[in-house]
């Protein structure tokens, strides 16, 4: 071991251990924010992959010329997501209207569209849930880290004032530990911002896709209504 007065241990753990309690809290908070935002990122990553895969598969089946009734029968029992859920919800509403009144009216069309709108918004909400946390982390983590840094530098300056020694060796550990808080803040914020932007655009793309499908399906139903009336 090197003599203690010369070797100031600047390892990450020592930086954390020597930090002021406020700085410690800031560091822990930032670490937790980083963990949670990465969890959200991974979860969203899986979710979007799954959603894209399922909607691609559904579109393939939907446009394959298969009877919509059969498709509805096949999908009705399962717990569906995105486009399939939209289709099932619309078909269910359509069937109910037909059962009560075999001669469909313009009201039926309206109801089905309403149901599809609700489903779309529910699906989009499901996709973008927790994304706000990423946005929050992205915008506030640097400030929180900065707060820890300012606090740490404040205390290290107080230490300078007490020891009346401006030697760099006295100042450096305090500043290093203070800057560590900013580093953590940035480490948490940068991925959060990047993935928030990515997922945000993914959500809007998925939403547009659902809207397009809903419009096409409404056109099909409208044709059906014209045929039956």
Contact residues toward another protein (CB under 8 A) are: 7-13, 31, 34-36, 38-43, 45-46, 176
Q: Pick between residue 25 and residue 187 the one whose CB is nearest to another protein.
A: 187
Cα–Cα distance measured from residue 67 to residue 154, given in angstroms and rounded to the nearest whole number: 72
Tokens of 160: 């300078």
Q: Smallest distance from the beta carbon of 8 to another protein, in angstroms?
A: 7
Q: Pick between residue 86 and residue 131 the one whose CB is nearest to another protein.
A: 131
Q: Smallest distance from the beta carbon of 42 to another protein, in angstroms?
A: 4
Q: Smallest distance from the beta carbon of 110 to another protein, in angstroms?
A: 37
Sequence-distant (6+) residues with CB within 8 A of 7 are: 1
Tokens of 142: 């640097």
Q: Pick between residue 58 and residue 195 the one whose CB is nearest to another protein.
A: 195
Q: Pick between residue 32 and residue 118 the one whose CB is nearest to another protein.
A: 32
Are the C-beta atoms of residues 97 and 109 closer than 8 Å to each other? no
> Using only C-alpha atoms, what is the Rg of the chain?
29
Q: Smallest distance from the beta carbon of 171 to another protein, in angstroms?
A: 14
Are the C-beta atoms of residues 46 and 204 closer than 8 Å to each other? no
Q: Pick between residue 12 and residue 219 the one whose CB is nearest to another protein.
A: 12
Q: Smallest distance from the beta carbon of 13 to another protein, in angstroms?
A: 6
Cα–Cα distance measured from residue 192 to residue 121, given in angstroms and rounded to the nearest whole number: 24
């Amino acid at each position: 071991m090197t003599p203690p007065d010369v070797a100031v241990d600047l390892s990450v753990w020592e930086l954390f251990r020597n930090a002021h309690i406020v700085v410690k809290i800031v560091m822990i908070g930032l670490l937790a924010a980083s963990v949670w935002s990465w969890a959200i990122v991974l979860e969203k990553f899986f979710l979007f992959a799954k959603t894209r895969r399922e909607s691609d598969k559904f579109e393939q089946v939907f446009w394959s010329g298969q009877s919509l009734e059969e498709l509805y029968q096949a999908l009705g029992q399962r717990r569906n997501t995105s486009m399939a859920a939209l289709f099932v919800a619309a078909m269910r509403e359509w069937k109910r209207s037909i059962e009560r009144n075999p001669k469909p009216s313009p009201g039926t069309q309206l109801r089905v569209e309403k149901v599809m709108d609700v489903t779309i918004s529910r699906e989009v909400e499901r996709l973008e849930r927790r994304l706000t946390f990423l946005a929050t982390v992205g915008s506030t983590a640097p400030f929180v880290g900065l707060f820890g840094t300012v606090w740490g530098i404040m205390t290290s300056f107080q230490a300078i004032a007490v020891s009346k020694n401006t030697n760099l060796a006295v100042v450096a550990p305090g500043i290093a530990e203070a800057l560590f808080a900013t580093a953590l803040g940035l480490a948490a914020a940068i991925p959060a911002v990047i993935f928030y932007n990515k997922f945000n655009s993914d959500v809007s793309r998925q939403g547009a896709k659902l809207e397009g499908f809903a419009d096409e399906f409404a056109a099909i139903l409208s044709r059906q209504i014209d045929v039956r009336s």
